[in-house]
Structure 1
């Protein structure tokens, strides 16, 4: 029989998970075009919601492969959402990359929104994960280096 601490911890974790699952159900009702499924997809769906609502991007159809949205002028955009990782992983090709950082209170910041190719050129390839990886700090530096005319999207 588990001790009181372990039992209380399990009960607390169950309550938190129940809250997350209830929130996912509410999010599905609010924005049914996103799956809001699984804990891993929750962050990604939130990033895509920000991209469509804040950046006015058009969500790509399911199964679009390398990209998640399109700009009004038709450019493809891969969207990455980060909470705590120091690295961003990505695969495939797109015209633009949008990387959003989510904070503990659910607020967010734009880490990078610009051309995809320079990011891919700076990234390292991880054969183990079969994807490119780039440090968030490198993305911030690249974003700062983009001239206003190049960053016009």
Structure 2
């Protein structure tokens, strides 16, 4: 029987392999972005939330959240690889934002009050979602999950900010 730790390490390895494949695609056909991981990255973030953070999967069809704490709080999970900001819709009690690296490892950027983030986020009518820079999430986390002053503005970006 495979242990929880073995399963986590195996998934990290698969994700690292996917990122390596993307780098190869970029070198073979650099005129294309080869950037999209979409739901794959989100699913990986939810996997980490459940397996590592001990959260429970949200019921199928849940709107605005991906997991739940043991005491019933709704958690929206965001996994980020290259973007300088995250976008979100809906309502939750908590936001968990993870930065995924090339090896499949992750760093917690933010795990705290969802409403606090929504209050400082900018609404994008074009995308019909709220946007907040990762630098703002880090600043809130470093300040003890309180807003102590002006936060970085969301800037529109085009393409990847990091090389895969």
TM-score under structure 2 normalisation?
0.66
Counterpart residue number, 2:92: 94
Structure 1 runs of 4+ off > 4 angstroms? none
Q: Which residue of 2 aligns with 1:39?
A: 37
Deviation readout 1:51-71 (Å, 9 max, x if unpaired): 000000000012101110000
Corresponding position of 1:24 = none
* Counterpart Cα distance in 2 of 1:84 and 1:51: 19
Question: Which string of whole-angstrom CA distances, capped at 9 and with x for unpartnered residues, describes residues 74-124 of structure 1?
Answer: 000000000000010001110000000000111100000000011001100
Of residues 58, 61, 68 in structure 1, which corresponds to 2:66?
A: 68
Higher relative contact order (CA 8 A, sep 6+): 2
Q: Are 2:130 and 1:132 equivalent residues in the alignment? A: yes
> How far apart are the structure 2 equivalents of 1:126 and 1:143?
23
Structure 2 residue runs of 5 or longer lacking an equivalent are 1-23, 26-35, 146-164
Aligned-pair RMSD on alpha carbons?
1.6
Once residues 75 and 113 of structure 2 are traced to their aligned partners in structure 1, the CA distance between those partners, rounded to angstroms, is: 9
Partner of 1:23: none
Matching of residues 3-152 of structure 1 within 5 Å: 13=25, 39-146=37-144
| Distance in 2 of aligned mates of 1:117 and 1:136 | 16
Q: Deviation at 1:39?
A: 3.4
- SS of residue in 1 equivalent to 2:37: helix
Higher percent of residues as helix = 1
**Structure 1: where are the runs of 5+ without partners?**
1-11, 14-37, 148-153
What SS does the aligned partner of 1:100 have?
A: strand
1:67 alignment partner, SS class? coil
Query: With structure 1 as the length reference, what TM-score do the two structures score?
Result: 0.71
Task: Work out which of the two has the higher radius of gyration on C-alpha atoms and give 1 or 2.
Answer: 1
Matched residue count: 113
Aligned residue for 2:110, secondary structure, equals strand
